């Protein structure tokens, strides 16, 4: 029993299918990639009391800094490898893992981190007495 050898016509017909299949697979993979990328961006809101009397607050994934009547919110995730920053030394925010330091504007004072802390959207709702901070989940 021997397998029949495909004719030249059959061979080119199969090759033509592969010719169309490759770009279609490439387009489909790009569509899936884009869907995954947009699906990962999820936001949630953290509410903190408006008045606490503290100039700097560490609230889980948020660092909140009061400057006069304004507030600056930063992600507490260190931009080096993501350790959570939860303490200060003097006027500097200090990462517990490898010692990066950031100023009150989130800028790097000392590495190994190279990028500033991520600034978070922060809105005061004086009627409700809260600050609403948008964090990425
Ligand atoms: S994770 Fe913060 S310095 Fe490395």
The more confident residue out of 60 and 19 is 60
Give the per-residue pLDDT at 103: 95
Which CATH number fits the domain that encloses residue 61? 2.102.10.10
* CB-ligand 1 contact for 83 (6 Å cutoff): yes
Collapsing DSSP states into helix, strand and coil, what is residue 89? strand
Instruction: Looking at the structure, tell me whether residues 129 and 72 fall in a common domain.
Output: yes
Nearest Cα to Cα of residue 52 among 131, 127, 135: 131
- Could you give the count of Cα atoms lying within 13 Å of 127 in the half-sphere of its Cβ? 0
Quick one: pLDDT band at residue 52, thresholds 50, 70, 90?
Answer: low
Instruction: Looking at the structure, tell me whether residues 32 and 58 fall in a common domain.
Output: no
Which residues on adjacent β-strands are paired with residue 71?
A: 66
Give the per-residue pLDDT at 90: 92
* CB-ligand 1 contact for 98 (6 Å cutoff): yes
Is 17's pLDDT higher than 60? yes
pLDDT in tens, 62-102: 999 988 878 899 999 999 999 999 999 999 999 999 999 99
The DSSP string of 5-21 is: PPPHHHHHHHHHHHHHH
Residue 96 lies in a domain: yes
Distance CA 19, CA 112 (A): 49
Instruction: Looking at the structure, tell me whether residues 81 and 120 fall in a common domain.
Output: yes
pLDDT in tens, 98-125: 999 999 999 999 999 999 999 999 998 8
Instruction: Looking at the structure, tell me whether residues 22 and 62 fall in a common domain.
Output: no
Instruction: Looking at the structure, tell me whether residues 20 and 73 fall in a common domain.
Output: no
Residue 67 lies in a domain: yes
Q: Among 96, 98, 111, 114, say which to mutate for ligand 1: greatest number of ligand atoms within 8 Å of CB.
A: 98
Give the per-residue pLDDT at 40: 61
Structural domain harbouring 66: 43-136
Distance CA 106, CA 85 (A): 11
Query: What's the pTM value of the predicted model, to 2 decimals?
Result: 0.66
Residues belonging to the chain: 137
Residue 1 lies in a domain: no
Instruction: Looking at the structure, tell me whether residues 17 and 29 fall in a common domain.
Output: yes
**Measured in angstroms, how far is the CA atom of residue 78 from the centroid of ligand 1?**
6
Give the per-residue pLDDT at 21: 58
* CB-ligand 1 contact for 94 (6 Å cutoff): no
Domain count, the chain: 2
């Amino acid at each position: 029993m021997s397998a029949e050898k495909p004719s030249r016509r059959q061979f080119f017909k199969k090759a033509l299918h592969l010719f169309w299949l490759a770009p279609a697979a490439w387009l489909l993979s790009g569509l899936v990639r884009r869907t995954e990328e947009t699906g990962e961006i999820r936001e949630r809101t953290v509410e903190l009391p408006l008045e606490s009397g503290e100039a700097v607050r560490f609230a889980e994934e948020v660092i909140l800094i009061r400057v006069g009547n304004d507030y600056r919110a930063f992600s507490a995730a260190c931009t080096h490898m993501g350790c959570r920053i939860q303490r200060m030394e003097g006027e500097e925010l200090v990462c517990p893992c490898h010692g990066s330091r950031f100023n009150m504007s989130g800028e790097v004072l000392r590495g190994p981190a190279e990028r500033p802390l991520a600034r978070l959207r922060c809105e005061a709702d004086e009627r409700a007495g809260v600050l609403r901070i948008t964090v990425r989940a």
